[in-house]
Protein backbone atom coordinates (compact mmCIF):
# COMPACT_ATOMS: atom_id res chain seq x y z
CA UNK A 1 0.00 0.00 0.00
CA UNK A 2 1.30 3.44 -0.91
CA UNK A 3 1.90 6.17 1.67
CA UNK A 4 1.47 9.87 0.92
CA UNK A 5 3.28 12.68 2.72
CA UNK A 6 3.00 16.43 1.99
CA UNK A 7 6.43 17.96 1.40
CA UNK A 8 7.83 19.04 4.82
CA UNK A 9 8.34 22.80 4.99
CA UNK A 10 11.93 22.40 6.11
CA UNK A 11 12.82 20.36 3.01
CA UNK A 12 11.12 22.52 0.36
CA UNK A 13 13.65 23.91 -2.12
CA UNK A 14 16.16 21.11 -1.57
CA UNK A 15 17.03 18.13 -3.76
CA UNK A 16 14.43 15.38 -3.96
CA UNK A 17 16.89 12.61 -3.04
CA UNK A 18 18.08 14.53 0.03
CA UNK A 19 14.49 15.11 1.14
CA UNK A 20 13.55 11.45 0.58
CA UNK A 21 16.61 10.29 2.55
CA UNK A 22 15.65 12.43 5.55
CA UNK A 23 12.00 11.42 5.41
CA UNK A 24 12.84 7.71 5.29
CA UNK A 25 15.90 7.76 7.54
CA UNK A 26 18.09 6.13 4.89
CA UNK A 27 21.25 7.14 3.02
CA UNK A 28 21.09 9.53 0.09
CA UNK A 29 22.34 6.74 -2.19
CA UNK A 30 19.54 4.44 -1.05
CA UNK A 31 16.99 7.21 -1.56
CA UNK A 32 18.30 7.77 -5.10
CA UNK A 33 17.85 4.05 -5.83
CA UNK A 34 14.25 4.16 -4.64
CA UNK A 35 13.56 7.25 -6.79
CA UNK A 36 15.06 5.60 -9.86
CA UNK A 37 12.90 2.52 -9.21
CA UNK A 38 9.81 4.77 -8.89
CA UNK A 39 9.23 3.52 -5.36
CA UNK A 40 9.50 7.12 -4.18
CA UNK A 41 7.89 9.71 -6.45
CA UNK A 42 5.88 12.93 -6.52
CA UNK A 43 2.19 13.02 -7.27
CA UNK A 44 1.29 14.93 -10.41
CA UNK A 45 4.75 15.55 -11.85
CA UNK A 46 7.76 13.59 -13.05
CA UNK A 47 11.05 14.44 -11.38
CA UNK A 48 14.61 13.15 -11.07
CA UNK A 49 16.66 12.68 -7.93
CA UNK A 50 18.23 16.13 -8.35
CA UNK A 51 14.92 17.93 -8.89
CA UNK A 52 13.91 20.52 -6.32
CA UNK A 53 11.09 19.76 -3.92
CA UNK A 54 8.40 22.44 -4.23
CA UNK A 55 5.85 23.78 -1.77
CA UNK A 56 2.61 21.83 -2.24
CA UNK A 57 4.35 18.68 -3.50
CA UNK A 58 3.10 15.36 -2.16
CA UNK A 59 5.64 12.55 -1.87
CA UNK A 60 4.37 9.04 -2.56
CA UNK A 61 6.17 6.05 -1.07
CA UNK A 62 5.53 2.60 -2.54
CA UNK A 63 7.99 0.48 -0.62
CA UNK A 64 7.36 -3.16 0.19
CA UNK A 65 7.51 -3.70 3.93
CA UNK A 66 9.68 -6.46 5.35
CA UNK A 67 7.87 -9.44 6.80
CA UNK A 68 7.94 -9.49 10.59
CA UNK A 69 6.38 -11.70 13.21
CA UNK A 70 2.87 -10.63 14.13
CA UNK A 71 3.05 -7.54 16.31
CA UNK A 72 1.34 -7.87 19.70
CA UNK A 73 -1.71 -5.68 20.21
CA UNK A 74 -2.03 -3.39 23.23
CA UNK A 75 -5.45 -4.56 24.42
CA UNK A 76 -5.30 -2.25 27.44
CA UNK A 77 -4.86 0.89 25.31
CA UNK A 78 -8.04 2.92 25.84
CA UNK A 79 -9.49 5.27 23.25
CA UNK A 80 -10.18 8.66 24.83
CA UNK A 81 -11.76 10.29 21.76
CA UNK A 82 -12.62 9.18 18.23
CA UNK A 83 -14.51 10.45 15.19
CA UNK A 84 -14.16 10.13 11.42
CA UNK A 85 -11.00 12.24 11.33
CA UNK A 86 -8.94 11.60 14.46
CA UNK A 87 -8.49 9.10 17.25
CA UNK A 88 -6.88 10.01 20.57
CA UNK A 89 -5.56 7.03 22.52
CA UNK A 90 -4.57 6.85 26.17
CA UNK A 91 -1.25 5.10 25.60
CA UNK A 92 -0.03 2.75 28.33
CA UNK A 93 3.65 2.62 29.28
CA UNK A 94 5.54 0.01 27.24
CA UNK A 95 3.79 0.81 23.96
CA UNK A 96 5.75 2.54 21.17
CA UNK A 97 4.19 5.07 18.83
CA UNK A 98 5.13 3.02 15.75
CA UNK A 99 7.36 0.15 14.71
CA UNK A 100 11.12 0.73 14.63
CA UNK A 101 14.33 -1.26 14.33
CA UNK A 102 14.89 -3.37 17.41
CA UNK A 103 11.38 -2.91 18.85
CA UNK A 104 9.30 -6.08 19.07
CA UNK A 105 6.57 -4.86 21.42
CA UNK A 106 3.14 -3.36 20.73
CA UNK A 107 2.71 0.00 18.99
CA UNK A 108 -0.06 2.57 18.90
CA UNK A 109 -0.35 2.38 15.12
CA UNK A 110 -0.22 -1.40 14.93
CA UNK A 111 -2.73 -1.82 17.74
CA UNK A 112 -5.22 0.57 16.14
CA UNK A 113 -4.94 -1.14 12.76
CA UNK A 114 -5.16 -4.54 14.45
CA UNK A 115 -8.43 -3.45 16.04
CA UNK A 116 -9.81 -2.47 12.64
CA UNK A 117 -9.46 1.30 13.00
CA UNK A 118 -8.99 2.97 9.61
CA UNK A 119 -5.85 5.12 9.46
CA UNK A 120 -5.00 7.49 6.61
CA UNK A 121 -2.29 6.44 4.16
CA UNK A 122 -0.68 9.87 4.60
CA UNK A 123 2.62 9.67 6.45
CA UNK A 124 5.97 7.94 6.02
CA UNK A 125 5.84 4.14 5.65
CA UNK A 126 5.10 2.53 9.00
CA UNK A 127 4.18 5.91 10.52
CA UNK A 128 0.94 6.65 8.68
CA UNK A 129 -1.37 9.06 10.44
CA UNK A 130 1.12 9.95 13.18
CA UNK A 131 1.77 13.67 13.67
CA UNK A 132 3.27 13.54 17.18
CA UNK A 133 4.69 10.81 19.40
CA UNK A 134 5.17 9.73 22.99
CA UNK A 135 8.18 7.79 24.25
CA UNK A 136 7.72 4.10 25.09
CA UNK A 137 8.26 4.96 28.76
CA UNK A 138 5.73 7.82 28.80
CA UNK A 139 2.00 7.19 29.14
CA UNK A 140 -0.96 9.35 28.20
CA UNK A 141 -2.78 10.97 25.32
CA UNK A 142 -1.56 10.65 21.73
CA UNK A 143 -3.44 11.75 18.59
CA UNK A 144 -3.47 9.73 15.34
CA UNK A 145 -5.13 10.88 12.10
CA UNK A 146 -7.74 8.78 10.33
CA UNK A 147 -8.37 11.06 7.32
CA UNK A 148 -6.12 12.88 4.86
CA UNK A 149 -7.76 16.17 5.82
CA UNK A 150 -6.90 15.56 9.47
CA UNK A 151 -3.31 14.57 8.71
CA UNK A 152 -2.59 17.75 6.75
CA UNK A 153 -4.28 20.07 9.26
CA UNK A 154 -3.08 18.44 12.48
CA UNK A 155 0.45 18.22 11.12
CA UNK A 156 0.26 21.97 10.56
CA UNK A 157 -1.17 22.64 14.01
CA UNK A 158 1.56 20.63 15.74
CA UNK A 159 4.27 22.25 13.60
CA UNK A 160 2.95 25.73 14.40
CA UNK A 161 2.70 24.88 18.13
CA UNK A 162 -1.05 25.55 18.13
CA UNK A 163 -1.87 22.32 19.97
CA UNK A 164 -1.92 22.63 23.77
CA UNK A 165 -0.08 19.67 25.33
CA UNK A 166 -0.35 19.39 29.11
CA UNK A 167 1.74 16.83 30.98
CA UNK A 168 1.93 16.05 34.67
CA UNK A 169 5.42 15.30 35.98
CA UNK A 170 6.69 14.29 39.40
CA UNK A 171 10.15 15.75 39.89
CA UNK A 172 12.71 15.17 42.62
CA UNK A 173 13.09 17.74 45.37
CA UNK A 174 11.10 20.84 46.25
CA UNK A 175 10.84 23.29 43.36
CA UNK A 176 11.75 26.74 44.65
CA UNK A 177 9.14 28.56 42.55
CA UNK A 178 5.42 27.96 42.07
CA UNK A 179 5.72 28.51 38.34
CA UNK A 180 8.54 29.12 35.87
CA UNK A 181 9.73 28.61 32.30
CA UNK A 182 12.80 26.77 31.05
CA UNK A 183 14.01 28.12 27.69
CA UNK A 184 17.06 26.15 26.59
CA UNK A 185 17.95 24.47 23.25
CA UNK A 186 18.08 20.67 23.16
CA UNK A 187 20.23 18.41 21.00
CA UNK A 188 21.68 14.90 21.05
CA UNK A 189 24.26 14.19 23.73
CA UNK A 190 27.69 13.24 22.36
CA UNK A 191 28.04 10.45 24.90
CA UNK A 192 24.97 8.52 23.67
CA UNK A 193 22.63 8.24 20.70
CA UNK A 194 19.70 7.84 23.10
CA UNK A 195 20.27 10.78 25.44
CA UNK A 196 19.62 14.46 24.80
CA UNK A 197 21.11 17.49 26.49
CA UNK A 198 21.13 21.28 26.68
CA UNK A 199 23.43 22.56 23.95
CA UNK A 200 23.79 25.86 22.02
CA UNK A 201 23.75 23.80 18.82
CA UNK A 202 20.38 22.25 19.68
CA UNK A 203 16.87 23.14 18.58
CA UNK A 204 14.85 25.76 20.50
CA UNK A 205 12.87 24.24 23.37
CA UNK A 206 10.51 26.00 25.80
CA UNK A 207 8.84 24.35 28.80
CA UNK A 208 6.37 26.10 31.15
CA UNK A 209 5.48 24.56 34.50
CA UNK A 210 3.20 25.19 37.51
CA UNK A 211 3.38 23.41 40.85
CA UNK A 212 0.32 21.27 41.62
CA UNK A 213 1.36 19.64 44.90
CA UNK A 214 4.42 19.52 47.13
CA UNK A 215 5.54 16.38 48.97
CA UNK A 216 8.86 17.64 50.32
CA UNK A 217 11.12 15.10 48.66
CA UNK A 218 9.23 15.49 45.35
CA UNK A 219 6.98 18.01 43.56
CA UNK A 220 4.06 17.34 41.23
CA UNK A 221 3.95 19.86 38.38
CA UNK A 222 1.69 20.63 35.44
CA UNK A 223 3.83 21.11 32.33
CA UNK A 224 2.86 22.99 29.17
CA UNK A 225 5.12 22.32 26.20
CA UNK A 226 5.51 25.24 23.84
CA UNK A 227 7.78 23.10 21.66
CA UNK A 228 7.98 19.32 21.30
CA UNK A 229 11.59 18.14 21.35
CA UNK A 230 12.50 14.55 22.14
CA UNK A 231 12.85 14.05 25.93
CA UNK A 232 12.19 17.79 26.40
CA UNK A 233 10.52 17.62 29.82
CA UNK A 234 13.06 15.10 31.12
CA UNK A 235 16.05 17.14 29.89
CA UNK A 236 14.75 20.51 31.06
CA UNK A 237 13.90 19.42 34.61
CA UNK A 238 17.19 17.56 34.92
CA UNK A 239 19.01 20.71 33.78
CA UNK A 240 17.60 22.69 36.75
CA UNK A 241 18.51 20.00 39.26
CA UNK A 242 15.10 18.33 39.51
CA UNK A 243 15.07 15.18 37.33
CA UNK A 244 11.81 13.29 36.98
CA UNK A 245 11.32 10.70 39.70
CA UNK A 246 12.27 7.29 38.33
CA UNK A 247 14.24 8.72 35.38
CA UNK A 248 17.66 7.15 35.95
CA UNK A 249 18.81 8.15 32.44
CA UNK A 250 18.69 11.82 33.44
CA UNK A 251 20.01 11.60 36.97
CA UNK A 252 17.12 10.55 39.17
CA UNK A 253 17.79 8.81 42.49
CA UNK A 254 17.00 5.11 41.88
CA UNK A 255 16.34 4.55 45.59
CA UNK A 256 13.40 6.96 45.59
CA UNK A 257 11.97 5.50 42.39
CA UNK A 258 12.20 1.97 43.79
CA UNK A 259 10.61 3.05 47.08
CA UNK A 260 7.64 4.44 45.13
CA UNK A 261 7.35 1.27 43.02
CA UNK A 262 8.32 2.95 39.74
CA UNK A 263 9.92 1.17 36.80
CA UNK A 264 9.97 4.31 34.62
CA UNK A 265 9.91 8.08 34.79
CA UNK A 266 6.84 9.65 36.42
CA UNK A 267 5.44 11.46 33.36
CA UNK A 268 1.95 11.41 31.88
CA UNK A 269 0.40 13.25 28.90
CA UNK A 270 -2.67 14.52 30.73
CA UNK A 271 -4.50 16.80 28.27
CA UNK A 272 -4.65 17.62 24.55
CA UNK A 273 -6.38 20.74 23.24
CA UNK A 274 -6.67 21.35 19.50
CA UNK A 275 -8.92 22.86 16.86
CA UNK A 276 -10.80 20.04 15.18
CA UNK A 277 -9.50 19.69 11.62
CA UNK A 278 -12.97 19.47 10.04
CA UNK A 279 -15.36 21.37 12.32
CA UNK A 280 -12.77 23.86 13.67
CA UNK A 281 -14.34 23.47 17.12
CA UNK A 282 -11.82 23.78 19.97
CA UNK A 283 -11.57 20.24 21.35
CA UNK A 284 -10.23 19.14 24.75
CA UNK A 285 -9.40 15.55 25.70
CA UNK A 286 -8.40 14.60 29.26
CA UNK A 287 -6.73 11.55 30.78
CA UNK A 288 -6.21 10.17 34.29
CA UNK A 289 -3.21 8.70 36.11
CA UNK A 290 -2.44 5.02 35.45
CA UNK A 291 -2.11 2.74 38.51
CA UNK A 292 1.70 2.87 38.87
CA UNK A 293 1.83 6.68 38.86
CA UNK A 294 -1.15 6.98 41.23
CA UNK A 295 0.49 4.48 43.60
CA UNK A 296 3.63 6.63 43.77
CA UNK A 297 1.53 9.68 44.71
CA UNK A 298 -0.37 7.68 47.33
CA UNK A 299 2.89 6.59 48.98
CA UNK A 300 4.19 10.16 49.04
CA UNK A 301 0.86 11.45 50.37
CA UNK A 302 0.85 8.89 53.18
CA UNK A 303 4.43 9.78 54.13
CA UNK A 304 3.55 13.46 54.18
CA UNK A 305 0.51 12.79 56.37
CA UNK A 306 2.63 10.78 58.83
CA UNK A 307 5.24 13.56 58.89
CA UNK A 308 2.59 16.23 59.51
CA UNK A 309 1.06 14.13 62.28
CA UNK A 310 4.45 13.69 63.94
CA UNK A 311 5.04 17.45 63.72
CA UNK A 312 1.68 18.12 65.38
CA UNK A 313 2.42 15.63 68.16
CA UNK A 314 5.80 17.24 68.73
CA UNK A 315 4.22 20.71 68.85
CA UNK A 316 1.56 19.46 71.29
CA UNK A 317 4.22 17.99 73.58
CA UNK A 318 6.19 21.24 73.51
CA UNK A 319 3.07 23.22 74.42
CA UNK A 320 2.27 20.77 77.22
CA UNK A 321 5.80 20.99 78.59
CA UNK A 322 5.64 24.78 78.42
CA UNK A 323 2.31 24.87 80.23
CA UNK A 324 3.64 22.52 82.94
CA UNK A 325 6.73 24.65 83.42
CA UNK A 326 4.67 27.84 83.62
CA UNK A 327 2.28 26.24 86.15
CA UNK A 328 5.22 25.08 88.25
CA UNK A 329 6.76 28.56 88.22
CA UNK A 330 3.49 30.13 89.38
CA UNK A 331 3.17 27.58 92.20
CA UNK A 332 6.65 28.30 93.41
Determine the Cα–Cα distance for residues 146 and 155; give it in Å rounded to an integer: 13
Helix axes 16-24, 28-36, angle to 10 degrees: 110
The gap between the terminal CA atoms of the chain, to the nearest Å, is 98
Query: Which 3-state string (H, E, C) describes the chain?
Result: CCEEEECCHHHCCCEHHHHHHHHHCCCHHHHHHHHHCCCEEECCCCCCCCCECCCCCEEEECCCCCCCCCCCCCCCCEEEEECCCEEEEEECCCCECCCCCCCCCCEHHHHHHHCCCCCCCECCCCCCCECCCCCCCCEEEEEEECCHHHHHHHHHHHHCCCCEEEEEEEEECCCCCCEEEEECCEEECCCCCCCEEECCCCECCEEEEEEEEECCCEEEEEEEECCCCCCHHHHHHHHCCCCECCCHHHCCCHHHHHHCCCCCCCEEEEEEEEECCCCCCEEEEECCCCHHHHHHHHHHHHHHHHHHHHHHHHHHHHHHHHHHHHHHHHHC
Q: Report yes or no: 107 and 48 within 8 Å, Cβ to Cβ.
A: no
How many C-beta atoms lie closer than 10 Å to residue 47's C-beta? 15
Q: With 0-12 CB in 10 A as exposed, 13-18 as middle and 19+ as buried, what is 232?
A: buried
Known catalytic residue at 83? no
Choosing from 9, 17, 85, 135, which is the catalytic residue? 135
As annotated, the active-site residues are 135
Amino acid sequence: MSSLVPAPDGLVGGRFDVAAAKMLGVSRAKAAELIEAQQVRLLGRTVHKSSALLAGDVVEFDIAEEQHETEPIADDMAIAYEDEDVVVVDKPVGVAAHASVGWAGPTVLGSLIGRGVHITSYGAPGRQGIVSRLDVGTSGLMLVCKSELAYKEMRRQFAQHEVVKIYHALVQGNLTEDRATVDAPIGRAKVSDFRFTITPAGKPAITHWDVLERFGKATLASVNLETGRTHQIRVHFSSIGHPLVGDAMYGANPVLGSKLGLDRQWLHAMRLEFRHPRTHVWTTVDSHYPPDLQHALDVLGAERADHDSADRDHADRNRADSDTAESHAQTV
